[in-house]
């Protein structure tokens, strides 16, 4: 079944992998044919222009990206192409689909299988509400829903936790900023799962002061994603303050990495 709001870019030519190696965030080496990888293109200041899923093909790479980010990503990749032997087009004849014959979504094993196939070769559509429920449960934010171009850093949306960044690559656009944030080991903002009643997108989450805001909500209004300041969450927890959104209690579903990063911030004397 096709995913909603997705577009496909097709890159072909002998310099395709070399172009991606020097521009995008994800690992390019040892990429087997048919394998899906997660990554993105950053601004020179290290913010996410667009993230995507990319599939290695026999003659190049297919990029599955939000349809509203596709033209900008296409333009920028062409700009970075310079004289490289790479053809880059938006291919309307292909579609991103959920297909059990494809790869797992590299961001989370809790998500649907992904593939890129000829448009019209599969019937039906992935229901947007069903997809939102699945990705929110998996803790996976999405361009167009949780953020847009140049609004967030990769760590804000957990790209580094989903194999979306290869810090050992020779280079990529925005690498200096992204690597510095990683080396400092002092990441303050993260996207985390939240549970509550009457959650609403863009609503602030409070604990005396604001600690973050909701970015996505499922159809029930009880489960969502929120971009939060981990240092402020930790301070509120240390003071046994209650978290609320729109006057209702909120609970954070913090994985071990989140608890570890909050501890690291506390040990380093994090401040505002």
By CB atoms closer than 10 A (0-12, 13-18, 19+), residue 119 is middle
The helix or strand, by DSSP H or E, that contains position 224, with its residue range, turns out to be strand 223-229
* Distance between CA atoms of residues 240 and 190, nearest Å: 21
Cα–Cα distance list, 27 to 10, 32, 109, 163 (Å): 18, 12, 19, 8
* Distance between CA atoms of residues 33 and 146, nearest Å: 31
* Distance between CA atoms of residues 99 and 65, nearest Å: 17
Nearest residue to 72 via CA among 106, 43, 95, 92: 43
Specify whether the CB–CB gap between 207 and 165 falls below 8 A.
Answer: no
Q: Is the Cα dihedral 91, 96, 97, 99 positive or negative?
A: positive
Contacts of 104 (CB under 8 A, 6+ apart): 36, 111, 113, 114
* Distance between CA atoms of residues 2 and 247, nearest Å: 38
pLDDT at res. 106: 95
User: Can you give the C-alpha Rg of the chain in angstroms?
Assistant: 19
Ranges of beta strands (E only) in 31-105 are 36-42, 48-57, 60-66, 87-90, 94-97
**Helix residue spans in the chain (DSSP H):** 16-23, 67-81, 128-138, 175-184, 230-238, 256-267
Query: What are the structural domains, with CATH classification, of the chain?
Result: 6-151 (3.30.70.1400), 185-267 (no CATH)
pLDDT at res. 269: 59
Apex 21 CA angle, 111 and 61, nearest 5: 55
Q: What does pLDDT average to in each consecutive run of 10 residues of the chain (272 residues)?
A: 95 98 96 97 97 97 98 98 96 93 90 93 90 96 98 97 92 93 83 97 97 98 97 94 96 91 75 44
Q: What are phi and psi of 195, to 5 degrees?
A: -130, 140
């Amino acid at each position: 079944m096709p995913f909603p709001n997705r577009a496909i870019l097709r890159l072909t030519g002998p310099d395709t992998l070399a172009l991606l190696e020097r521009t995008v965030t994800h690992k390019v080496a040892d990429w087997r044919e048919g394998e899906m990888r997660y990554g993105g293109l950053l601004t020179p200041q290290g913010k996410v222009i667009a993230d995507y899923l990319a599939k290695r093909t026999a003659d190049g790479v297919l990029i599955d990206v939000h349809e509203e980010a596709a033209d900008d990503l296409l333009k920028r990749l062409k700009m970075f192409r310079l004289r490289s032997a790479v053809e880059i087009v938006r291919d309307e004849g292909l579609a991103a689909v959920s297909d059990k014959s494809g790869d797992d979504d590299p961001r989370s094993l809790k998500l649907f299988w992904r593939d890129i196939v000829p448009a019209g070769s599969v019937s039906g559509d992935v229901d947007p509400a069903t997809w939102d429920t699945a990705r929110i449960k998996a803790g996976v934010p999405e361009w167009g829903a949780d953020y847009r171009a140049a609004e967030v850093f990769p760590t804000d949306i957990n790209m580094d936790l989903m194999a979306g960044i290869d810090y050992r690559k020779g280079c990529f656009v925005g690498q200096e900023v992204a690597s510095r944030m990683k080396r400092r080991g002092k990441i303050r903002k993260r996207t985390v799962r939240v549970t509550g009643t009457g959650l609403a997108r863009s609503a602030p989450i409070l604990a005396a002061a604001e600690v973050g805001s909701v970015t996505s909500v499922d159809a029930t209004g009880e489960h969502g994603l929120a971009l939060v300041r981990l240092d402020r969450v930790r301070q509120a927890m240390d003071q046994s303050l209650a978290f609320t959104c729109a006057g209702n209690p909120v609970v954070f579903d913090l994985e071990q990495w989140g608890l570890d990063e909050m501890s690291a911030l506390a040990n380093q004397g994090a401040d505002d």
